[in-house]
Structure 1
Amino acid sequence: MRIYGNEPGEPSAEVTGHRYAALIGGPLDGQRLDVTGWSVQQLLDGAALITELGAYGPGGRAHYEGQPGNPGRLHWTGDTP
């Protein structure tokens, strides 16, 4: 599974001691995001992740947010420029 932020061709192994959340849906579906040190509220708020794969092309962002009781998954909520 690819880790968000790794360049294509880089090893995608998870780092021991880190915590990861699966990205569900949208342009980054199937990748994992390193959420080591994130609070429960930060997981719920989620992140706007830069991606060239979204609706707005290079420089666009894909928004992923958590859901209560499921800290290991961030769900896609849409793209922005």
Structure 2
Amino acid sequence: MNKDTAMIEILGKILSRLVNVALFIIITILSLVFLREAVDMNLALTALISIVIGIVGTIAVRYLFTLVLKIGDLFS
């Protein structure tokens, strides 16, 4: 493995983590907006539930992308 390949792998890992963080933020904000309109709860409890939904949603979306990639490799 040469220097360029190692640098590309490091940049790929950094970008992957940034995408995970962005996905988490988007899912959390969307769930917070929907929960605030639908439920009359304390704001702190609603925010905590939104954070949990953001974490689970991020894991689910990343797993879904991995599954689609594996299915694509299977049929190609």
Give the TM-score band, short-chain normalised: under 0.3
Structure of higher RCO (CA pairs closer than 8 Å, 6+ residues apart): 2
Which structure: greater helix fraction? 2
- Larger fraction in strand: 1
- Structure with bigger gyration radius: 2
